[in-house]
Chain A
Amino acid sequence: MMAKASLLQRASGATLAGLSRAVTGVRPIWAGVAPSGRQRIYFANHASHGDFILVSTCLRPAERSRTAAVAGSDYWNAGPARRFIAGRLLRTVLVERNWVERTADPLQVMLAALDAGESLIFFPEGTRNMTEEPLLRFRSGLYNLAFARPDVELVPCWIENMSRVLPKGAVLPVPLLCRVVFGAPVALGEGEDRKVFLDRARQALLSLAPEKDGTRR
Chain B
Amino acid sequence: MSDDTTRLFLGLVAVLATASAVAGVLTWRSPQPLPSTLENLNARIKAWWIMVAGISLAFLFGKGGVILLFAFVSFAALREYVTLTNTRHADRWTLLGMFLVVIPVQYYLIWIDWYGLYSIFIPVYCFLAMPALTALRGDTSRFLERVSEQQWGLMLSVYCISHVPALVTLPIPGNEGRGLLLIAFLIATVQGSDVLQYIFGKLFGRRKVAPNISPSKTWEGLIGGIASASLMGAGLYWLTPFSPLEAGTLAGLACIMGFFGGLVASAIKRDRGVKDWGHLIEGHGGMLDRADSLVFAAPVFFHIVRYAWT
Contact = CB atoms under 8 A, between A and B. Distances in A.
Would you call the interface of chain B mostly helix, strand, loop, or mixed? helix
Interface stretch (A32-40, A102-110, A173-181): A173-181
Interface string B266-293: 0000001110001110000000000000
Contact of A174 (B80, B92, B274, B280): B92
Residue of A25, A161, A167 most packed against chain B (CB within 10 A) = A25
Nearest to A178: B83
Residue of A167, A175, A213, A214 most packed against chain B (CB within 10 A) = A175
Residue of A170, A177, A211 most packed against chain B (CB within 10 A) = A177
B41 to A, nearest CB: 22
Contacts of A167: 89, 92
Residue of A164, A176, A211 most packed against chain B (CB within 10 A) = A176
A27 B280 CA distance: 10
B87 interface: yes
A25 B87 contact: no
A172 interface: yes
B280 A25 contact: yes
Interface in A172-217: 172, 174-177, 211, 213-216
Given A27-B279, A175-B75, A176-B82, A213 B273 contact: yes
Nearest to A168: B89
B95 interface: yes
Nearest to B279: A27
A215 B86 CA distance: 12
B99 interface: yes
B92 A170 contact: yes
Contacts of A161: 83
A216 B274 CA distance: 7
Contacts of A172: 96, 100
Contacts of A174: 82, 92, 95-96, 99
Interface residues of B, number: 20
A174 B84 CA distance: 14
A175 B79 contact: yes
B279 A25 contact: yes
Contact of A176 (B83, B86, B89, B100): B83
Nearest to A216: B274
A25 B80 CA distance: 10
Interface in A135-176: 161, 164, 167, 170, 172, 174-176
A175 B278 contact: no
Nearest to B273: A215
Nearest to B76: A25
A15 to B, nearest CB: 20
Interface in B45-97: 75, 79-80, 82-84, 86-87, 89, 92, 95-96
B79 A176 contact: yes
Interface in A98-131: none
Contacts of B83: 161, 176-177
Contacts of B96: 172, 174
Given A213-B273, A214-B273, A216-B273, A164 B79 contact: no
A211 B83 CA distance: 15
Contacts of A27: 279
A177 B79 contact: yes
A82 to B, nearest CB: 23
Interface in B80-120: 80, 82-84, 86-87, 89, 92, 95-96, 99-100
B46 to A, nearest CB: 18
Contacts of A164: 87
A180 B87 CA distance: 20
Contacts of B280: 25
B102 to A, nearest CB: 13
Nearest to B82: A176
Interface in B12-60: none
A215 B84 CA distance: 10
B107 to A, nearest CB: 16
Nearest to B280: A25
Interface in A18-40: 25, 27
26 contacts: A25-B79, A25-B279, A25-B280, A27-B279, A167-B89, A170-B92, A172-B100, A174-B82, A174-B92, A174-B95, A174-B96, A175-B75, A175-B79, A175-B99, A176-B79, A176-B82, A176-B83, A177-B79, A177-B83, A177-B278, A211-B273, A213-B273, A214-B272, A214-B273, A215-B273, A215-B274
Given A164-B87, A177-B278, A214-B272, 14 more contacts: A25-B280, A27-B279, A174-B82, A174-B95, A174-B96, A174-B99, A175-B75, A175-B82, A176-B79, A176-B83, A177-B83, A211-B273, A213-B273, A214-B86
Identify the 6 closest CB pairs spanning chains A and B, nearest first. A215-B273, A177-B83, A174-B95, A175-B79, A176-B83, A177-B278
